[in-house]
Structure 1
């Protein structure tokens, strides 16, 4: 009976549709299919769930999921959903299942995760390998990457740091003498105010100081050339969120990225070839340090490997340091009292007594508590990366202490994150958590001078001075995965360049404050639409030349 009914309905339906205008029919399909897809997606979320899986954030759009709210303001997204679901929850991000584990325990769960459970390589290689190049970083097995980190550490010696301070000072002085934004400064007038764009200026200064120190004299000499600038710009264009989520789009920017990567790789190989041929007019820089290293099996690094490690250092360090120095200077410009305190610290330690300053030194730079607090507080409020991903390669049980959640409604569950999903840690959440930090949203460097405060305790946990030390293959480091303050990551993927970053940031900020006063109407909001969290426009700072120290 049912079949005969269908047989009679089908011709009638076909006849009805044949009388509908094609444009109307197309409109019905175009509108109807998305509506049906959304309805099915919503209905599916109200069906009974597997109690062993973390709760899923409600979302209207299939595939898109929570991409819009997460991408626009990830910290607001995390804090809002923590109140609904607890510290562990899953959200859909452009077809991927992301399980966030928040707070210090969540950081420890993911960043301290075992290689048998999580993989950074599988999470990031499709973003980093086209930019950095083959056979380095996330394009190699983790033990090999750990050896490569050890090689880089060989170029980050105290002896080099001592020399780098002078190099950075030269670059700051050159920028003040040549950059068009500092005409007012060069006039010698201590009453007139000028302005400069914080992000663009600090990005230029960061790449100049990094190239003169870590990259070497040949790289620094090439920076002013149009060819190198275009090469760097095209390569940088491949280091964006769209490249992370969609690694193989047929776009012109992707093709430019690939051409630039090959050209940049050839650039470094050519330098190495010249040195091998007898050109010894260079410092003992990172290129020289890497050329001396050998893997545990005795094999030396190839020239391509060295070139690609150098590209990784250039790209990763440039973004993070320029962002942090920009945020620091923007906050300083909003707090004349803190600027004055940093300046007074400079006068106390470095004044010649005649209105001039003597040169900074590496050892003395480490003994400036107010400047150090400015950098630490900036990193607390503005960690360059708000989300750290790992891909789950084996079903990953969530500890009961974490899956119990932090909301009143969350119940203790033995959650398991399935293989193939992604897990996400956000040290930015624990660093901005009002449950941990007093006045968490206020930039207050002085919180770091309280020996019994949360900041001092968090820093101690991060350095883990008396606790567990681990050698992941690049030297003994503190684990640091349970600290609520993790500005350089934690565990095996903790940034090995953090001491250089403090040196670079401290030297730049100290020298600028020696020379200028600053002011700004308000500190800009965060721009979360970039790989590294940057300030939104406008982010210009007003300055005037400082009178001589007395």
Structure 2
């Protein structure tokens, strides 16, 4: 543990697995402790800003529309179609910013799942607003023109206005019984009610959408990029991952077209590749909690009111847990079950990211088709890395996408 003074509060930084697990899962001793500026941007009714009881209620009633088996089955075909279309489009574009294009792809997917929007112009406009919002979440809370936080506040205002108009339009359609057959996340959020018959308010719906939309494409896009880079740097891992995908194709019935959830569940090696990518990169570097009372952890007392920063990257790069921790090696996961608190790419306990299965599905579908038919030709393979707000090459992975000559897909 390390003492610090952050965001105007005395704070403790925890990096050991046991301490991280305790802080994340003990809801009797800890509550959300995110900086006020972050809550203002993501939303006071989002999962990061509400009490344990309210979080539990919202998580329970919104989990199925995001991560449920039926929902994932519906989303799979759309994810697949968009991945195939994007990959083919990129082969004709010459030099592209691979990360930028991946973020556009994942944002289009998440927009469709949540809002039924397939308009590329609308998607690109909203994606720009979310980019500004995301940059501000990790910036100093300086509300002065020209600063990232100020731009993020303006972006949030624009996003709330757009989403409110969508909610208003959807309610008007329902009044007129003019409801489309396709149900999306907004429909689910408008319909869902808890055991007491309470439904979500417009403010709750909008904050939940802002939270999901902001997180739902950033992490997936970055993980797709890094997994691709890592695999191409390590031909032996790439070959093993490709062989698994080819085996899936060979074993399916001749009449079957496209992936199934069963095949996704069978991608054991790709799952290891995704986990190892998430470990090495650690997309979400930190989480914040606050002590509700004096709490003793590992012989150290954390005073009531102190902020506790969980440093995920410190855990994921601990050489005592992961030998040669900065090395990308999916084989380390063979026969290895990480100790509780030592692998936290999506958080833990009641605060586990509710969209983790959807994110993994997106990444796996992309890698499936990329490995079978395409390769990445980076323009600046030695490009320096930028670490904030997320780890990425400074050139956003400038590259060309090429199709394999022997491709059968």
TM interval, shorter chain, is 0.7 to 0.9
Mapped pair 1:444 → 2:329: yes
Q: Identify if the C-alpha distance between structure 1 residues 230 and 285 changes in structure 2 by more than 3 Å, giving closer, same or farther.
A: closer
Report Cα offsets for 1:200-248 as digits up to 9, x if no partner: 1110111122223x3142x233x423xx544442344233366664275
Report Cα offsets for 1:504-531 as digits up to 9, x if no partner: 110011112222123447476653321x
Q: Following TM superposition, by how much is the alpha carbon of 1:340 offset from its aligned partner in structure 2, in angstroms?
A: 2.6
1:539 maps to what in 2? 397
2:315 maps to what in 1? 430
Q: Identify if the C-alpha distance between structure 1 residues 241 and 420 changes in structure 2 by more than 3 Å, giving closer, same or farther.
A: farther
Match of 2:96 among 196, 206, 210: 196
Q: What aligned pairs does 1:470-509 form with structure 2 within 5 A after superposition?
A: 482-509=340-367
Contact 2:241 2:270 in 1 (8 A): yes
Q: Identify if the C-alpha distance between structure 1 residues 140 and 424 changes in structure 2 by more than 3 Å, giving closer, same or farther.
A: closer
Q: Following TM superposition, by how much is the alpha carbon of 1:147 offset from its aligned partner in structure 2, in angstroms?
A: 1.2
Q: Which portions of structure 1, spanning 4 or more consecutive aligned residues, are displaced by more than 4 angstroms?
A: 241-245, 247-252, 355-358, 519-526
1:362 maps to what in 2? 261
1:103 maps to what in 2? 16
Report Cα offsets for 1:97-126 as digits up to 9, x if no partner: 3211222122123212334x3221x42453
Report Cα offsets for 1:82-101 as digits up to 9, x if no partner: xxxxxx12123364332112
Distance 1:203 1:296 in 2: 37
Distance 1:265 1:543 in 2: 34
Match of 2:53 among 135, 139, 143: 143
1:208 maps to what in 2? 108
Q: Following TM superposition, by how much is the alpha carbon of 1:442 offset from its aligned partner in structure 2, in angstroms?
A: 0.9
Q: What aligned pairs does 1:9-158 form with structure 2 within 5 A after superposition?
A: 88-93=1-6, 95-115=8-28, 117-120=29-32, 122-132=33-43, 134-155=44-65, 156-158=67-69
Mapped pair 1:510 → 2:405: no
Q: Identify if the C-alpha distance between structure 1 residues 446 and 195 changes in structure 2 by more than 3 Å, giving closer, same or farther.
A: farther
1:527 maps to what in 2? 386
Q: What aligned pairs does 1:285-364 form with structure 2 within 5 A after superposition?
A: 285-351=184-250, 358-364=257-263
Mapped pair 1:163 → 2:74: yes
Contact 2:12 2:308 in 1 (8 A): yes
Distance 1:216 1:261 in 2: 13
Report Cα offsets for 1:356-389 as digits up to 9, x if no partner: 9941111111102221111111011112111211
Mapped pair 1:375 → 2:285: no
1:272 maps to what in 2? 170
Structure 2: 5+ residue stretches without partners: none
2:118 maps to what in 1? 220
Higher relative contact order (CA 8 A, sep 6+): 2
Contact 2:289 2:307 in 1 (8 A): yes
Report Cα offsets for 1:468-513 as digits up to 9, x if no partner: xxxxxxxxxxxxxx33111111111111111111111100111122
Q: Following TM superposition, by how much is the alpha carbon of 1:541 offset from its aligned partner in structure 2, in angstroms?
A: 3.6
Q: What aligned pairs does 1:249-264 form with structure 2 within 5 A after superposition?
A: 249=144, 252-254=150-152, 256-264=154-162
2:128 maps to what in 1? 233
Distance 1:444 1:517 in 2: 20
| SS of residue paired to 1:154 | helix
Contact 1:268 1:307 in 2 (8 A): no
Q: Following TM superposition, by how much is the alpha carbon of 1:443 offset from its aligned partner in structure 2, in angstroms?
A: 0.4
Contact 1:131 1:257 in 2 (8 A): no
Quote the RMSD (CA, aligned, Å).
Answer: 2.9
Mapped pair 1:420 → 2:314: no
Q: Identify if the C-alpha distance between structure 1 residues 327 and 525 changes in structure 2 by more than 3 Å, giving closer, same or farther.
A: farther
Q: Following TM superposition, by how much is the alpha carbon of 1:345 offset from its aligned partner in structure 2, in angstroms?
A: 1.9
Q: TM-score, normalised by structure 2?
A: 0.87
Report Cα offsets for 1:132-188 as digits up to 9, x if no partner: 4x534344332112211112212132122122221111111222344xx4217xxxx
Contact 1:168 1:209 in 2 (8 A): yes
Distance 1:524 1:109 in 2: 39
Distance 2:127 2:395 in 1: 23
* Segment of structure 1 superposing worse, 329-338 or 311-320: 329-338
Contact 1:327 1:535 in 2 (8 A): no
Distance 1:427 1:439 in 2: 17
Larger of the two Rg values belongs to structure: 1
Q: Identify if the C-alpha distance between structure 1 residues 307 and 328 changes in structure 2 by more than 3 Å, giving closer, same or farther.
A: same
| SS of residue paired to 1:420 | coil
| SS of residue paired to 1:97 | strand
